[in-house]
């Protein structure tokens, strides 16, 4: 079974702070990590490989240092990795990112399953997975919570998708692109042997020229339909907390209940 | 891969751009501004440079005559089991405002099976025109038949703006449609308005876990597509007397051409839709175990609300993942959010800090949750929450 995992290196947004004076993002010293949702995609790919055999290839588009994320995936157990890095890719929005990744996947050859995280924690769009599926013309199953069955002989897959109202069970044929949610598994830690392998591995970097049949006008900033025109700090929540204290919790609770009813939110 | 061009002959090394950059991508090297890979070409620095030494690469210019052919605001009316979802009407309400500002018509796209009643509701909620695609293949949402049908409609009727709810289905669908159409899609917006001067849709959305907001436009491609989070826009008032045109349309694909089959739908007992909830009562590490959610549930029941949780409680196995609020769970926007025994880690705040009113109940006065809360009670949740439940029971006559 040929499995491809698309991952993104992101700043650990939990460490991102706002400079209160300038209102801008302080990214100095903020560690880069594999997008948390993508670690579930990597884990799921490794489980599929362990069950059905085959190969796991991890790809990422980003600056040269994104190779560290790929090495971590190799340390977890991925067989191969490719970095897509080129000045021509810079400034890509979700459309151009999906286009570039899909061209790289096409170059990698035949695949059975493509796995992505449901979204990245920096951009939070969740649109690149569906974009890749559409570019490649494969079936997409998003927000996958569980792979119920996978039969390589009949090339049938059934998954549970996590929706607002419950879990939907969908069946389709391979090849398929899945985007996964957190609860699908518990990602493993890199092994000692894996880390040693990753350290030694030369991970190839592909630029625009390596992707073969690409339309250069659809890459990077030039190929991106959307433009960011303004960046600003979110409005702060106004006022300070009204700490309710009273002689007893019953009294405090009664006061709070009255205030909440007065707010007309109940 | 820096995108910003710095004219080193002009740059005076004043550093104004360095402090302006929201991404920390600029620094001074030998008294000249230098941008690194973190540059996203947002352009924030261009305006502050006193000597106009900074520029961005040129973008392709659209053929203006091509764009003028695109008119009207469209909204996808999401339905589940034959009932329209609340988020669809929220989108239609905002679509009405945008259409009025653009002096154009509002169109609702209703896809499903036996959903004629939804076309009438769509007109009542503000649509001038409804595309009604009614077919057994569309009874349950599936990406391919829904996306292909909408793509065909867009290609034929050329809307200027196309809005979808940022629900699981909406995000699944929008990504597929925008990719096929080669147009811009801004996901998960929390604000939409019209730049009256340029006539463009200004789409505002949070990024970096809600730490920054970005306003995004799509100047050269049509339609301008957005998905918007639950409960950002108000439900419009229905006017049953409104008149609108309903046009029946055939679906783009037949059952034999559809690759997927929905075979089951699993709803856990006590499962609630957090995205739509007006009131959420959440428990965190402080609840101490699965049984600790009992008082949380009782309060939620009295208020008619949903039960949420922090990541800590989910990871400990005390409550299933669908209840998780926060960065790796759901983003919610209720009228009232009551956080019980939740310290308020950044990841949790990212998922709930836009709630209208936040209440924090916690033993630890230093807990960060108090910094975003409107009201707080310092104390043991096992004493405070039952007291609050009793107080509401009395007041709500339950």
Q: Residues of B with CB below 8 A from A258's CB?
A: 395
Residue B52, domain member (yes or no): yes
Residue in A closest to B369 by C-alpha: A241
pLDDT bracket for residue B37 (50, 70, 90): confident
Q: Residues of B with CB below 8 A from A221's CB?
A: 3, 41, 56-57, 59
The answer to whether the beta carbons of residues A111 and A101 sit under 8 Å apart is: no
Residue B22: predicted pLDDT:
74
Report whether pLDDT(B1) > 50: no
- Alpha carbon distance A163, A171 (integer Å): 16
Residue B267, domain member (yes or no): no
- Alpha carbon distance A52, A56 (integer Å): 12
Q: What is the ipTM of this complex?
A: 0.94
- Alpha carbon distance A24, A21 (integer Å): 8
Q: Residues of B with CB below 8 A from A160's CB?
A: 266
CA A145 to chain centroid: 15
Residue B4 DSSP symbol? -
Task: Please give the residue that has the higher pLDDT: either A197 or B397.
Answer: A197
Partner-chain contact B185 A239, CB within 8 Å = no
Residue A23: predicted pLDDT:
56
pLDDT bracket for residue B174 (50, 70, 90): very high
Report whether pLDDT(B146) > 90: yes
Beta-bridged to residue A176, according to DSSP, are A113, A139
What's the number of domains chain B is made of? 3
**Domain spans of chain A?**
2-218
Indicate the Cα dihedral angle A240, B311, A8, B142, nearest 10°. Answer: -110
What mean pLDDT is predicted for residues A21-28? 63
Whether residue B102 sits in one domain with residue B37: no
Is the pTM higher than 0.80? The answer reads yes
Whether residue B92 sits in one domain with residue B200: yes
Please tell me the total number of residues recorded for chain A in this structure.
266
Residue B67: predicted pLDDT:
86
pLDDT bracket for residue B68 (50, 70, 90): confident
State the average pLDDT for chain A. Answer: 93
Residue in B closest to A178 by C-alpha: B172
Residue in B closest to A168 by C-alpha: B265
When the candidates are 1.10.10.60, 3.40.50.620, 3.10.20.740, 3.90.1150.10, the CATH number that belongs to A2-218 is 3.40.50.620
The pLDDT > 90 percentage for chain B reads: 79
- Alpha carbon distance A107, A101 (integer Å): 10
Report whether pLDDT(A233) > 90: no
Residue B115: predicted pLDDT:
98
Residue in B closest to A249 by C-alpha: B384
pLDDT bracket for residue B241 (50, 70, 90): very high
- Alpha carbon distance A79, A201 (integer Å): 10
Last residue of a domain, one of B226, B255, B284: B255
**What would the two tokens of residue B264 be?**
């089951």
Domain range holding B52?
Answer: 1-58
Lowest mean pLDDT among B31-40, B174-183, B273-282: B31-40
What mean pLDDT is predicted for residues B236-248? 96
Residue B229: predicted pLDDT:
94
Residue in B closest to A18 by C-alpha: B211
CA B317 to chain centroid: 28
Cα-Cα-Cα-Cα dihedral sign, residues B384, B385, B388, B389: negative
Residue B264, domain member (yes or no): no
Q: Residues of B with CB below 8 A from A139's CB?
A: 143-144, 259-260
Q: Residues of B with CB below 8 A from A172's CB?
A: 259-261
Report whether pLDDT(A125) > 90: yes
Whether residue B239 sits in one domain with residue B152: yes
pLDDT bracket for residue A22 (50, 70, 90): low
Whether residue B244 sits in one domain with residue B341: no
pLDDT bracket for residue A24 (50, 70, 90): low
Strand order in the sheet with A227-232: A227-232, B212-217, B200-207, B191-195
The answer to whether the beta carbons of residues B168 and A130 sit under 8 Å apart is: no
Residue B144 backbone phi and psi in degrees, to 5: -60, -55
B6: CATH: 3.30.70.20
Residue B376 backbone phi and psi in degrees, to 5: -145, 150
Whether residue B205 sits in one domain with residue B288: no
Task: Please give the residue that has the higher pLDDT: either A198 or B67.
Answer: A198
Question: b/e per residue, A221-251, with b = 16+ CB within 10 A?
Answer: bbbbbbbbbebebbeebeeebeebeeeebbe
Instruction: Please name which of B12, B44, B46, B18 lies closest in space to residue B30, comparing C-alpha atoms.
Output: B12
- Alpha carbon distance A251, A245 (integer Å): 8
Report whether pLDDT(B175) > 80: yes
- Alpha carbon distance B169, B183 (integer Å): 19
Q: What is the pLDDT of residues B323-338, one digit of tens each?
A: 999 988 999 999 999 9
What mean pLDDT is predicted for residues B117-131? 98
Whether residue B386 sits in one domain with residue B315: yes
Report whether pLDDT(A130) > 60: yes
- Alpha carbon distance B254, B135 (integer Å): 9
Q: What is the pLDDT of residues A167-226, one digit of tens each?
A: 999 999 999 999 999 989 999 999 999 999 999 999 999 999 999 889 999 999 999 999
B374: CATH: 3.40.50.1220
Name the E strands within B53-152.
54-55, 73-77, 79-80, 83-84, 106-112, 129-134
Residue B113, domain member (yes or no): yes
Give the Cβ contact number of residue A22 at 10 Å.
14
Residue A188: predicted pLDDT:
97
Residue B266, domain member (yes or no): no
Q: How far is A244 from chain B (nearest CA, A)?
A: 5
Please tell me the total number of residues recorded for chain B in this structure.
398
> Given A27, A167, A229, which is nearest B266 (Cβ)?
A167
- Alpha carbon distance B282, B369 (integer Å): 12
Partner-chain contact B19 A234, CB within 8 Å = no
Partner-chain contact B174 A127, CB within 8 Å = yes
pLDDT bracket for residue B5 (50, 70, 90): confident
- Alpha carbon distance B337, B333 (integer Å): 8
B194: CATH: 3.40.50.620
Whether residue B286 sits in one domain with residue B213: no
Q: Residues of A with CB below 8 A from B379's CB?
A: 249, 252
Report whether pLDDT(B239) > 90: yes
Lowest mean pLDDT among A114-128, B53-67, B268-282, B308-322: B53-67
Q: How far is A195 from chain B (nearest CA, A)?
A: 27
């Amino acid at each position: 079974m040929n499995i491809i995992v698309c991952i993104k290196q992101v700043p650990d947004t939990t460490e991102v702070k706002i400079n209160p004076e300038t209102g801008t993002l302080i990214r100095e010293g903020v560690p880069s990590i594999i997008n948390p949702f993508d670690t579930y995609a990597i884990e799921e790919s490794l489980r599929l490989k362990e069950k059905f055999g085959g190969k796991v290839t991890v790809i990422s588009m980003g600056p040269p240092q994104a190779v560290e994320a790929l090495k971590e995936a190799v340390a977890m157990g991925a067989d191969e990795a490719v970095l897509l890095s080129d000045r021509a890719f810079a400034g890509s929005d979700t459309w151009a990112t999906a286009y570039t990744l899909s061209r790289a996947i096409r170059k990698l050859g035949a695949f059975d399953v493509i796995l992505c995280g449901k979204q990245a924690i920096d951009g939070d769009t969740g649109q690149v997975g569906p974009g890749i599926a559409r570019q490649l013309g494969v079936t997409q199953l998003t927000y996958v919570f569980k792979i119920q069955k996978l039969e390589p002989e009949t090339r049938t897959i059934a998954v549970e998708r996590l929706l607002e109202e419950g879990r939907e069970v969908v069946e389709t044929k391979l090849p398929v692109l899945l985007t996964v949610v957190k609860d699908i598994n518990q990602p493993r830690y890199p092994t000692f042997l894996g880390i040693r392998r990753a350290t030694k591995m030369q991970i190839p970097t592909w630029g625009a020229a390596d992707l073969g049949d690409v339309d250069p006008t659809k890459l990077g900033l030039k190929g991106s339909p959307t433009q960011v025109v303004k960046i600003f700090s979110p409005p702060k929540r106004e006022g300070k907390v009204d700490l309710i204290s009273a002689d007893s919790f019953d009294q405090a609770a009664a006061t709070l209940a009255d205030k909440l009813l007065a707010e007309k939110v109940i | 891969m820096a995108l910003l061009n710095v004219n080193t002959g002009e740059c005076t090394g004043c550093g104004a751009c360095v402090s302006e950059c929201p991404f920390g991508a600029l620094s001074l090297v030998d008294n000249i501004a230098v941008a690194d890979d973190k540059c996203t070409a947002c352009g924030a620095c261009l305006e502050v440079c006193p000597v106009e030494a900074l520029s961005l690469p040129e973008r392709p210019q659209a053929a203006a005559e091509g764009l003028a052919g695109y008119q009207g605001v469209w909204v996808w009316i999401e339905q589940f089991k034959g009932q329209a979802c609340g988020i669809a009407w929220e989108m239609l309400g905002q679509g009405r405002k945008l259409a009025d500002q653009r002096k154009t018509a509002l169109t609702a796209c209703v896809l499903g099976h036996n959903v004629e009643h939804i076309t009438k509701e769509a007109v009542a909620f503000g649509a001038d025109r409804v595309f009604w695609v009614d077919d057994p293949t569309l009874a349950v949402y599936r990406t391919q038949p829904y996306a292909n049908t909408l793509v065909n409609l867009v290609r034929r009727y050329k809307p200027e703006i196309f809005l979808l709810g940022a629900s699981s289905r909406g995000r699944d669908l929008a990504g597929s449609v925008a990719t096929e159409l080669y147009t811009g899609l801004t996901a998960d917006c929390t604000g939409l308005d019209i730049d009256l001067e340029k006539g463009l849709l200004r789409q505002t959305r949070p990024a970096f876990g809600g730490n920054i907001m970005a306003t995004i436009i799509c100047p050269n491609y049509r339609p301008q597509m957005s998905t918007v989070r639950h409960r950002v826009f108000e439900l419009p008032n229905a006017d049953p007397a409104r008149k609108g045109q309903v046009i029946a349309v055939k679906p783009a694909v037949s059952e034999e051409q559809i690759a997927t089959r929905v075979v089951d739908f699993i709803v856990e007992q006590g499962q609630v839709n957090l995205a739509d909830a007006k009131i959420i009562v959440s428990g965190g590490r402080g609840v101490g175990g699965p049984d600790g959610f009992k008082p949380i549930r009782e309060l939620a029941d009295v208020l008619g609300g949903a039960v949420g949780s922090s990541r800590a409680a989910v990871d400990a196995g005390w409550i299933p993942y669908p209840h998780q609020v926060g960065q790796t769970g759901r983003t919610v926007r209720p009228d009232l959010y009551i956080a019980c025994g939740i310290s308020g880690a950044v990841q949790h705040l990212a998922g709930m800090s836009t709630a209208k009113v936040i209440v924090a109940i916690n033993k630890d006065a230093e807990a960060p949750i108090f910094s975003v809360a409107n009201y707080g009670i310092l104390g043991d949740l096992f004493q405070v929450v039952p007291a609050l439940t009793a107080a509401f029971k009395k007041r709500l006559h339950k």
